[in-house]
Each structure stands twice: as C-alpha cells, then as structure tokens.
Amino acid sequence: MNHFLLGLANVLTIARLLATPVLVWVLLQTPGERRFDWIAIGVVVAMQATDVLDGFLARRARPPGAARVNPTGEMLDPLADKLYLNSAYITLMLLGRVPLWAGGLIVARDVLILLGWIGVYLQWGVRLLPNGLGKTTDSLQALALLTLLAAPGHAATHALLWVVCGLTVASGFSYAKSAFSTPQQA
C-alpha cells in the first residue's frame, strides 16, 4: 500500500509539471478573452489541489518513525511548484498583468533558492528541504495568482501582492540562513 501511495503522489507531482505548459498557454490567451482568466483559475486550483494531495499521500505512506520515504517526491514536488508558479508570474509579467518588481522578486527568490540548494548539495552533500515559511509563501503566491486573474486591478489584489512580496523576501532570507548554517561535511 505504501508503494502505491508514493507512486500516486509522484504521478500527481509529474502531472503538475506536465500541466505547466498548459497553464502558460491559457495565460497567453487571457488578453483576448476574459473566459481564459477563469480557465486559468481552474488550472491553478487543480495544480494546487494536486500539491496538497501529493503531500498528503506521501505523509500517509510514511511508516511511523520514518524520517522520509520519498526522495523522488522531495525533489520533484518543490521543483513542480516553483516551475508552475514562476512560469505563471513570468507570463503575466510579459503580458503586463503583474508589476515587474513583484514578479521579478518572486522569480529571483526561487532562482536563488534553487542555486542555493544545488550549491549546498554539491559543497556539503546536504539536501535542503522546503520549510514552513517557504511553503506558506508558495501557497500565498498561488492565492495572489488566483486573485490577479479573478480581480485584476482590484485594491485587495494589489495589497495581497505586497504581502506576498514581503513573505517572499522573508522566506528567501530563511532559506539563505538554512544554507549558510548548514554544517560542513568533512
């Protein structure tokens, strides 16, 4: 049963990776017709649902006391999240629907996190995993994406974008602190 749950969790993560180009294509259609905003909202909701479900399945499959059981999912899941969120923000920046400062900040944090993860692993052989603040930030980035599509130009959308950017900076510093405090492996 555990192998089945882990396999299903990984399939959901891979589906999110494969759905990213679909989301980008739908977002590219949004300037022409408002209905594509709603289609994009549906795609984002489905992607977020698979993120929650794959995490639930992976935790459910973990035997009591086991630290981790799905190294593939631990690597692919954050990659899938970052790929789809950053692709969406880059697309919306190109369309002029997200301010460059906000989208650029979100993308820059994730590029730096990715480079940090790779650097720490290559330098010390230590894998950095997502933390609570980072997961919260990613979830709020998805919520901001949904509000940007549902209520473009609304004051609440603009305010949420500021909150998301503040959390993006805070979580970036949190990841940097983790990377720099990683014990060196001799």
Q: What is the pLDDT of residues 107-144, one digit of tens each?
A: 999 999 988 888 888 888 777 778 899 999 999 999 99
State the Cα torsion 75-77-81-83 to the nearest 10°: 50
Examine the pLDDT at 49 and tell me if it is beyond 90. yes
| Residue 178, pLDDT score | 84
What is the pLDDT, as a whole number, of residue 51? 93
pLDDT at 184: 54
DSSP secondary structure of 100-134? HHHHHHHHHHHHHHHHHHHHHHHHH-------HHH
The confidence score (pLDDT) of residue 164 equals 97
**What three-state secondary structure class fits 54?**
helix
What was the pLDDT predicted at 186? 41
Residue 153, sorted as left (phi over 0), alpha (psi -120 to 50) or beta, turns out to be left
Beta-strand ranges (E) seen in the chain are none
User: In this predicted structure, what is the pLDDT of residue 145?
Assistant: 96
Region 38-50 average pLDDT: 97
| Spatial distance between the Cα atoms of 147 and 77, rounded to a whole number of angstroms | 23
Predicted pLDDT at 1: 64
pLDDT tens digits, 6-40: 889 999 999 999 999 999 999 999 998 999 999 99
Confidence (pLDDT) at 160: 96
What is the pLDDT, as a whole number, of residue 6?
A: 86
The length of the chain, given as a count of residues: 186
In this predicted model, what pLDDT tens digit does every residue of 150-186 receive, in sequence order?
998 899 999 999 999 999 999 999 988 888 886 654 4
Is 2-180 a domain of CATH 1.20.120?
yes
Q: Where are the domains of the chain?
A: 2-180
pLDDT tier at 80 (50, 70, 90 boundaries)?
very high
How far apart (Å, rounded) are the C-alpha atoms in residues 52 and 47?
9
